[in-house]
Structure formats: structure tokens, C-alpha cells
Amino acid sequence: MAGIRLEGVSKRFRDGSWAVRDVSLDIRDGEFFVLVGPSGCGKSTLLNLIVGLEDITDGEVLVAGRPMNGVDPRERNMAMVFQSYAIYPHLSVEDNLAFPLKIAGVDPAERDRKVRDVAAILELTDLLDRMPATLSGGQRQRVSMGRAMVRDPVALLLDEPLSNLDAQLRGQMRNEIARLHRRMGATTIYVTHDQTEALTLADRMAVLHGGRVQQVGTPRDIYRTPATRFVAGFLGAPPMAFFEAVQRDGAWASPVGAIPPSMGPRPEPRDELPPRVVVGVRPEDVHEATDPPPDTGRLSFWGTVELLEWLGSETFAHVTLPGDDEEAGLVARLSAGSTCREGEEVLLQVDPGALHFFHPTHGGRLRGGGTSVHGSGP
């Protein structure tokens, strides 16, 4: 195992387009690190740069302090697991697992021991004589992971490994991967566009957008204190709602009510607040209230229910808000027993300390809302 460090890594293609720009990351020894972002953000390219399948345009990759630029991928001793299963259909499970060791010239007795050890870890022992065509999707992916693990790599790199599985299998395999990492403790870099995978698997994660790192941190810190409007909108299901707030009469006028200055956005040192800011609020921070609302210090406001999504244990209400902006709206997470109806008005409340504020131009986080800014670096 080894720590992996990226220092100002960039990748430019022949057509002049940049896939990755100035990425610096410090992935710790034994850490489960996730690269997450939408399609085309550069996360798979970054993985290929680490393993050596793509040449770096600028910057440096180091493994255990050793520079990797120019080192052949076979000499980096990293193992990759791809979205496709990448197993040989004409070989049994046992022969698929043994193949990398056979190519490397490992002694047959040692080869058999390693295969049996990995098969036990992945619960493949009873399947060693089976052919890939007789396996389920989840079993094939475990064989693919076993082929990577059997080499005792310094790092395990997984590129969208669950994308080909249905929802139920993805959940099962996600749990298996988490259990496997706890048992093995190998340095793992996991690429996904699925925020659920990122939030549940990562020790830490990096959110990418347009080839650049937007924020690095634990899933909890990034979710609670997103560094940019993009990060805030990308993580969360349903996503965070956004609307404008305007300085007016000593407060911040918004569709959810007048936000007091003490709970509104605050300027950075030697900086000035713009007259308009973007406000974000997550569904779980919006609550249904009684009429008249209790005096709790929360902001109270009326909205019209446009759509209800009942999910058994909870209800998501898509609500439009009155005001100057006809498009303003949000989603409220209500109890499953809520009696609100589509087309009717509902009284809602939000704690001003749960609001997030972002700059209207560059999208960076502004201080305020009762929360402090966490650093966006590792």
C-alpha cells in the first residue's frame, strides 16, 4: 500500500481541449478516496493519469514519494477495475483469478494460495469451477475485482465499477466493496458519477467539474458546507433549491422571508457583499408549520404545492414561492402523514441558520447562515 500525491496535474488533448486542469490531491495510505462529478468532468481521465494509461501534460504523480511520470503502467503495480467486467469468458473463475499471476511467472503453489485467499475474501470459493456465462452480474464484478486484488497492488483503482448493475445489485455490491476495503485496508481510488456511492463509500472525496477540483473533504463536511454553488447543487437528492435575496430595509429580502443581517451573508475581509446573493436550502431543512406558526425564530412563508412525491416513509413537496421571481421554488421533505395537497397552499418554515449563501457571479460560498466555511483543500 502507498499514499498517492498529485501536484498540479493537467491533461490537454491533441485538439487543444483540457480534460484536467491543475489538480492537486493528497490521497493517504489505506484511504478510500472517491472522485465524483458529472459525465465529462475529467474523473476517469484523472484515474488514467494516475495509473499511467494517459500521459500527463503538466504536473506530477507520486506514489509513496516516488515520481511516476514516464514510468510504465506495468511497473506502477496498480490494479484497475473497469465498468465492463474485463474477464475472459473461456476461462473458469479460478483461471481468471490466476491469469495475472501466471503472466507474471508466479510459482504455481504460490499462485494457488493467492487465488484461494482472494476467493475466500470475495466469497468466490464455491464458484471457482464455474464459467463466467453462468455467473450473475454481481458475481462477475467480484471476479473482476479479484483479478485486480490477487496481484497485491499498491493501490486499487475502480472506474464506475457498478454502472452495469441494476439498482438492487448496485446497493449490494456497494456494501461488499465497503466491507472489502475495511478488511483489506488497501489504498483505493473510486470513480463515480453517483452521489450515493460517493457519500456512502468515501473516507474523503473530491468533487470535480470542468476538469477542476471544486472541493475536497469528508462526505459530511462537503454536504454540510459546500464550497461552491455547483457542489451544493450536485450533492443531494432532491437537490438544493436556489433563489435570490436582495438587501432591503436593513435585511435580506427573499422568497422565504426577511433574513436578519445577523443570519445573512457576511463579507470576507477586505471584500464587499454584492447587493444580490444566491440563497440555497436543502429539502430536509424546510418544515411544514401550523397556522399561525409557532414563535421559534424560524422564517415562515406560504407556497403553492405543485407536485407531491410520496415515498412511503416521507413525502417530497415541490413548492413554488410568491415574489418577484416567478421561477422561485423549493422542495420540502415532509412526513409521510402530511395532509397537504397538490394545488393548495402550505405554510412552511426554515431556520435561517440552515441557509447557504453563494456569490451570484463566481458561485463561491459566502460566510453566513449560522455556519462557517470549511477549507476546500484536502
The domain limits of the chain are: 4-227, 230-368
**What values do phi and psi take at 291, rounded to 5?**
-115, 115
List CB contacts of 106: < 8 A, sequence separation 6 or more: 114
pLDDT value at residue 12: 94
pLDDT value at residue 326: 57
Taking the C-alpha atoms of residue 128 and residue 116, their distance in angstroms, rounded to an integer, is: 9
Grid look-up 485496508 returns 185
| Residue pLDDT tens, the chain, 378 long | 579 999 999 999 999 999 999 999 999 999 999 999 999 999 999 999 999 999 999 999 999 899 999 899 888 888 888 877 678 889 999 999 999 888 888 899 999 999 998 898 888 999 999 999 999 888 888 898 888 888 878 899 999 888 877 777 788 888 888 888 888 888 999 999 999 999 999 999 999 999 999 999 999 999 999 999 999 999 998 999 999 999 988 889 999 999 998 899 987 776 788 899 999 999 999 999 887 777 778 899 999 999 999 888 889 999 999 865 556 889 999 988 888 999 999 999 999 999 999 999 999 999 876 443 333 333
As assigned by CATH, the class of the 230-368 domain is mainly beta
pTM of the model as a whole: 0.87
pLDDT value at residue 324: 55
pLDDT value at residue 376: 35
pLDDT value at residue 323: 67
For domain 4-227, the CATH architecture is: 3-Layer(aba) Sandwich (3.40)
pLDDT value at residue 327: 66
